[in-house]
Each structure stands twice: as C-alpha cells, then as structure tokens.
Structure 1
Amino acid sequence: MKQLSLPFADETCYAAEDFCAAPSNALARDWLARPDSWSNGRLVLWGEPGCGKTHLLHVWTKSHNATLLNGPELRGLIRPRGPVAVDDADIVPEPTALLHLLNAAAESGYAALMASRLPPARQSIKLADLASRLRASETAEIRAPEDELLAQLLARLVAERQLMLSLPVRNFLLTYLPRTAAALREAVARLDRITLDRGIKITRQLAAEVMQDMLDL
C-alpha cells in the first residue's frame, strides 16, 4: 500500500460552525452532547487521522470551558480545574501522567474527553491501572467519511483558501484520492501552494501531478 507524504503544515479552523456533520460522526456528536451519561465520566473518541476528532475536541472544550491538552506533551502531575480533554491520548510519553490526570478528574467530578486512533480495547497499554481506566470509559467511533461528507469538506477547504476548482477537478480529486479527510486537506494545501508559487490555474493535469507526488509514484 502506498504511503502518503504529508509535509505541509496547515492552520486549521476549529469553529463549531465549520465542522461537517454527517452520519459517520453522528455517534460521537451524540455522546459529546451528553457528558453526564459517560461511563465513569470519561469518553474516548477514536478513528483514523483526519476524521474530525481534534475538531470535535476543540468544539467541546470551548462549549464546556474545558482545558485542552496535547497527549504527546503530557508530562508530570496535572490537576485539572474543570473538565479536561486530551488529544492523541494514545501517544502520551508518560502514561503515568495520563493516569494521574484521569484519577484527579474523577476525584473532582470533572468530565474527561480523549481522542485516539484506536479504541482502548485495541491499544497496547502497558500500565495496568491506565489500561483499566481507559477500558472502563465510554467510546465512540468516528467512521470513514461518506461521499457527501468528502464533497462537503472539499468545498469548504477550497472556499477557505479562495481557490477556483472546476467541477471536473473536484470530481477527479474525490474519485482518485484516498478516501480520507487528511488526503483532501493535503491535496488542497499543495494545490494552493503551487498556484501561489507558479501563478497558474488549477487544472485536472495539475491535480493529477499533485496526487502522483502525494502517492510517491
């Protein structure tokens, strides 16, 4: 299987109105609206990269005055002062830091929201107490995006960058790119960069060149 090369960083808007609601993320949205129903006050959103987990964490954090933490930067003892969310909770460098955070949140009665690529039951968690806490949490999968969601996301990405993409070019990208939000974001970012650098229009041929470069053919 060919691997995507994703070198371009991009500043993403995480406003609630910019989230693309669809059946594939309906379960996650439903659970986020009912934190009082979470098992042990915890919820783990899981799904492939780019499926919307981070966006939903930002929306929930803002609406609940919660603190958003980045899993890869989670270290030491952190005592939350309210609801807390942890992105990339499956790649924390110090598992004990996440364990202490979850324990402290539970002791204070604060909700804890996490995002990961896999559900806790399928993660290799060496710290037994942490594995127990995570596997006793509520989980909600964000499934692969539908055709309508991908088309909606592409339209939004194009509008954000004020790009001119003809219908044939859009259909080409939606048909031949990997069916992930991450691939769409990367393709649009690359097309935007090329048009700025070269001062040219986006054509089907240019889109094909970008896709070929992404797939490293």
Structure 2
Amino acid sequence: MVEHTKLKTDENTPAGVIGQMVLPFAHTPRFRAADFVFAASNAAARSWLLGSTPWPERRLALWGAAGTGKTHLLEIWAQRHGARLLHGASLSHAHVAALFPACGARAPLMAIALDSADECADERALLHLINAAREHGMVLLLGARTPPARWAVALPDLTSRLRATMAVAIGQPGDGLLRVLLLRLLAERQIVVAQPVVEWLLRRLPRTALAMQEAANRLDHAALASGRPVTRALAAQALADLLPAEPPLVPADQKNDGLRVS
C-alpha cells in the first residue's frame, strides 16, 4: 500500500474525524476498456456505442445520472474511433472553429466526443459544432445527464438540432454492479476494508453509483485523517448523512420483556 503523506488539513474531511494533517490526493479514475463492467443497465448504450449500427445523422447522445459510466463509455468510444474528446463546460466558438479547416477542405478528424455537453454555456459554439460535424460527415457523440430534448436552450436552431438527435440512456446499476463499483473504487484508492464492513455498507448505502463514489471519497479522507483502518464505526461516522439511522441496541435481558406471561 502507498503511504499517504500527512501535511495539511483537508477541508473536505468529514466533521468529527479531523485529527491529523493530511495531504488531499486527487483521485484520477481509470477509463480503460478492460475496466468497464458490462451490465443490463448499460446494455443499450453499449450496443449503440460499441456496435456497428449507424447513427441517424451520424450523431448520438448518451445520457444518464452521474457515476453510471457515461464518461467511461465516451472514453472507450473515442479511443476506438480516434476521436477528439472535448468537455462541454470549456467549449467555445473559437475552439470549434479550430477543429475544422477553412475553404471546405475535409476535416482531418472523423469523430468527436463531447462530454458534459449539457454544461455548455456557449450555445452558438455547440450549434457550430453540430453543424460543422454534419457538413464534414463527422460522427459526433454527446454525453449528458439528461436527454438533449430537455436541455434549456434559447437558440431555436440548436433546439431543433438537439430534438433531432437520437438519445440512448444508461441506467442506474443493479446490485451486482454496485458491488463491483464500490470494491473497485476502494481498490483504486488503496483503501483496505474488511468484507463484513463492505457488506454492511452495501446494505445501507443509497442504491446509486454516485453514492458509491461519494462513500469511497469520504472513507479515503476519513482513513487518512484518523490514521486508522476503515471500521464500521469509522464508516458510520464519515457517512452519517448517507446511511439510515441504526436502531438503538436493546440489552439482552430486555429483549423479551414484552413477551413475558404473568
């Protein structure tokens, strides 16, 4: 296990477990094809992104809640197609113009993936990207948390393009995939958690991928700050607002008081 250097207080450490000085390491997720877990929740998305069926207008939007694997699939698709991977929040008109040659020459790229496309504040840049990709016969993949038809946009032309974009959803993972996800998130952060504690967490955490990510992040901070392994008590403290309250313990000699017969 890599030793975590403890240098400064991490302001994101859960209240109640700050006791030492820690250096907050930024966790970089891995998006290798071999790390993607196939499941029923992502079957339709895999079929459209990794299959051979052509997309209408050569454009597709992949949407779903945070943590469900959209970015991972976009990364895999971009690697397979040699696509340029962009982010919606930083997309600008000048950025888009630089991707396409002047005078109608054929673009050197044949595919573009735009993650978090619904975070694009420059509507004209997004419209330009969609139009230019179409004109150059380029494949365009958009990733977002909601389907394009529901994005709040003001430009009528952009609204029309988005409504004409085929959208495929990636669903929330089932119990089996949530287990794999939590174990992988803990392993990536090199957090050692006993199996009984893992099972306890899986029974009590909200059934979403985002909750598993949040739990792994908090447990990492809590373990660093306390200098102790992740126990059930430490997990309960770090994840107090994510977990349901546990019923109070009843002494053994009081458990059957209500069943006594006089």
Q: TM-score, normalised by structure 1?
A: 0.89
1:14, 1:6 → 2: CA distance? 26
Return 5+ residue gaps in structure 2 as ranges. 1-11, 15-23, 101-108, 246-262
Query: Letter of the aligned partner of 1:85 in structure 2?
Result: A
SS in 2 for 1:113: strand
Given that 1:45 and 1:115 are in contact with CA atoms closer than 8 Å, whether structure 2 keeps it comes out as yes
SS in 1 for 2:154: coil
Task: Tell me which of 54, 58, 73 is aligned to 2:75.
Answer: 58
- Residue 27 of structure 1 corresponds to 44
2:119, 2:189 → 1: CA distance? 31
**What's the CA shift for 1:212?**
1.2
SS in 2 for 1:212: coil
After superposition, the C-alpha distances for 1:103-154 in whole angstroms (9 at most, x for unaligned) are 1111111100011111122222221111111211121101111000000111
- Residue 235 of structure 2 corresponds to 207
1:121, 1:101 → 2: CA distance? 17
Given that 1:43 and 1:139 are in contact with CA atoms closer than 8 Å, whether structure 2 keeps it comes out as yes
Given that 2:222 and 2:238 are in contact with CA atoms closer than 8 Å, whether structure 1 keeps it comes out as no
- Residue 118 of structure 1 corresponds to 146
- Residue 191 of structure 1 corresponds to 219
Task: Tell me which of 86, 93, 110 is aligned to 1:76.
Answer: 93
RMSD of aligned alpha carbons:
2.2
Given that 1:35 and 1:111 are in contact with CA atoms closer than 8 Å, whether structure 2 keeps it comes out as no
1:35, 1:66 → 2: CA distance? 16
**What's the CA shift for 1:211?**
1.1
2:83, 2:150 → 1: CA distance? 27
Given that 2:13 and 2:218 are in contact with CA atoms closer than 8 Å, whether structure 1 keeps it comes out as no
Return 5+ residue gaps in structure 1 as ranges. none
- Residue 101 of structure 1 corresponds to 129
Runs of 4+ more than 3 Å apart: 5-9
2:54, 2:72 → 1: CA distance? 21
Task: Tell me which of 181, 195, 202 is aligned to 1:153.
Answer: 181
**What's the CA shift for 1:64?**
0.7
Given that 1:38 and 1:137 are in contact with CA atoms closer than 8 Å, whether structure 2 keeps it comes out as no
| Structure with a larger share of its residues in helix | 1
Query: Letter of the aligned partner of 1:63 in structure 2?
Result: R
- Residue 47 of structure 1 corresponds to 64
**What's the CA shift for 1:213?**
5.0
Query: Letter of the aligned partner of 2:198 in structure 1?
Result: R
Q: How many residues align?
A: 212
Task: Give me the identity figure in percent.
Answer: 46
After superposition, the C-alpha distances for 1:150-175 in whole angstroms (9 at most, x for unaligned) are 00111111222232212221122222
Query: Letter of the aligned partner of 2:32 in structure 1?
Result: A
**What's the CA shift for 1:214?**
5.5
**What's the CA shift for 1:94?**
0.3
Query: Letter of the aligned partner of 1:68 in structure 2?
Result: L
The worse-fitting range, judged by mean Cα deviation, of 108-117 and 166-175 is 166-175
